[in-house]
Copies of this chain bind each other. A is one copy, B any other.
Amino acid sequence: MSTNEAVLCVDAPDRKGLVAAIAGFLSQHDANIVAFDEHVSPTEARFFARVVFEMDGLVIGRDEIEPAFAPLARRYEMNWALHFSDSPVRVGLLVSRHEHCLYDLLWRHRAGELPIQIPIVLSNHAELAEVAKFFDIPFEYCPILEGDKDAQERVMLNHLRQHDVHLVVLARYMQILGPQFLHHYHQRVINIHHSFLPAFIGGRPYHQAYERGVKLIGATAHYATDDLDEGPIIEQDVCRVTHSDGVETLVRIGRDIERTVLARAVRMHAEHRVIVHGRRTIVFA
């Protein structure tokens, strides 16, 4: 994505003329549409779209787009959001002791692979401070003191607020977040679960997978909700295993899937390709 683009995400009751209305609005202001993705859910008669247009040559000020679009949006009862590619999503990473996902995201970020900013890494453990440091990302140790998780989450929320974080990524954060935290970052917390959901919900999924004797193991990136491991799925993948792979080998193979799946989910979100609808996601890949 070049730096002078905007992304408009819309979902609305399906109605004739929606595409023409959106495209007409943009055309009126001399926008060049470079990508238009539409999905209509036939069972629910609901319309979803993601439109990318160039900011160059627009005959309307950047701040004027939203007010100009609002009446149209109201008429069609749209949920909508407008994003600018020169304002990358600010991501806060929460980690515990596993480093593979943290590494992977920080490396991809530094390599310019992800259109995000990472102002802060938070952890309930101190171990991964040096990893963050190597990549020049501020790290805050937020221990759970005397078992008071609410207090610790308030501390974390405070850090996230101070750093203007818009998306929280649980890069193998091993604590379950409370409803208040999740409420604050509703549909903006991405978790990586180390199984192919809905198989092996809960703890020790690789042990469960070994016991069940599955021939593929997987990982799932999803938005975290109050229902553990039940949030809308963004991305999943699997890898083939055999009888000779013990639990330790499953864990090793799984790390590769976890980091790839999480990175893809973060990219999809950061490029505003994901729209949540109930328990499902629309992902304009």
- Give the contact-size bracket for chain A: 35 or more
If A196-B196, A246-B43 touch, does A27 touch B20 (CB 8 Å cutoff)?
A: yes
- Integer count of this chain's copies in the complex: 4
Q: Does A62 contact B (CB under 8 A)?
A: no
CA distance A155 to B68 in the complex (A): 63
Complex contacts, A234 vs chain B, CB 8 Å: 215
**Binary interface profile of A, 3-40, with partner B (CB < 8 Å = 1, else 0)?**
00000000000101111111110111011111111111
User: Are A215 and B235 touching (Cβ within 8 A)?
Assistant: yes
Q: Is A233 an interface residue (CB 8 A)?
A: yes
User: In the docked arrangement, what's the CA distance between A136 and B135, Å?
Assistant: 16
CA distance A244 to B46 in the complex (A): 12
Known: A211-B279, A243-B283. 6 other contacts (CB 8 A): A17-B27, A100-B107, A198-B199, A213-B281, A215-B236, A243-B280
Question: Nearest 5 CB-CB pairs, A to B?
Answer: A213-B280, A20-B27, A20-B23, A199-B199, A36-B38
